[in-house]
Amino acid sequence: MFGNNISPFEYVSILVSIILGLGITQLLFSFSDLLYRFREVRHYWPHTVCVCFVLFLLVQDWFITYQLRNHAIWHLPELLFILSYPIALFITAKMLLPTNEREEQLDMRLFYHDQYPVIFFITAIGIALSILFNIWLLHKPWIEQIHLFIFLATMLFFSLRKNIPEILHRIIALVIGIAAVVSVVLEKDVWV
């Protein structure tokens, strides 16, 4: 169908890129809607950090997927597994910002507090998928995944709690922001 010019990885990566691109588009589209009404929007910095973090994860997954470029044979279960993480990121991106113009959704603190249990739960699913991806496809030892196991436990714990004190939301946001920066520094070879 495509001739001999396209590799199996390129064929698979097209679908991954589309889903990741949709997630990025969702964040940018929703953010631009809020920017259009910037005088009415009440921002909440932990929510903004979460939005930036998901944008970071969408770009990071695009880079990390490239590590599979030498994977010669692809099967449907592998493809579905590889697509599951970008799908989880897309759903998270969709839930992070309001997509309609209801007045109560212009207060990002209220919006975040309404959404965080589901967002944290989907994030936990994404983390579990990331751990499996690292171990199964990238052949990284499970011991290198300890930080992800801690992050997974944290997200699961907070997704099951209804009333988390405000200070914990700020701490989570701060840790997530620092983790993203540290990840870029420590994993600089992945970002090439």
Residue 7: what pLDDT? 86
Q: Which two tokens stand for residue 165?
A: 């004190």
Instruction: Classify burial at 73, counting beta carbons within 10 Å of its beta carbon; exposed 0-12, middle 13-18, buried 19 or more.
Output: exposed
* Neighbour-count burial for 121-143, b at 16+ CB within 10 Å, e otherwise: bbbbbbbbbbbebbeebeeeeee
The span from the first CA to the last CA of the chain, in angstroms, equals 31
Low-confidence ranges of the chain (pLDDT < 50): 103
Residue 5: what pLDDT? 78
| Helical segments of 67-165, H only | 76-96, 108-136, 146-159
Sole residue written with tokens 């097209």: 14
Residue 119: what pLDDT? 94
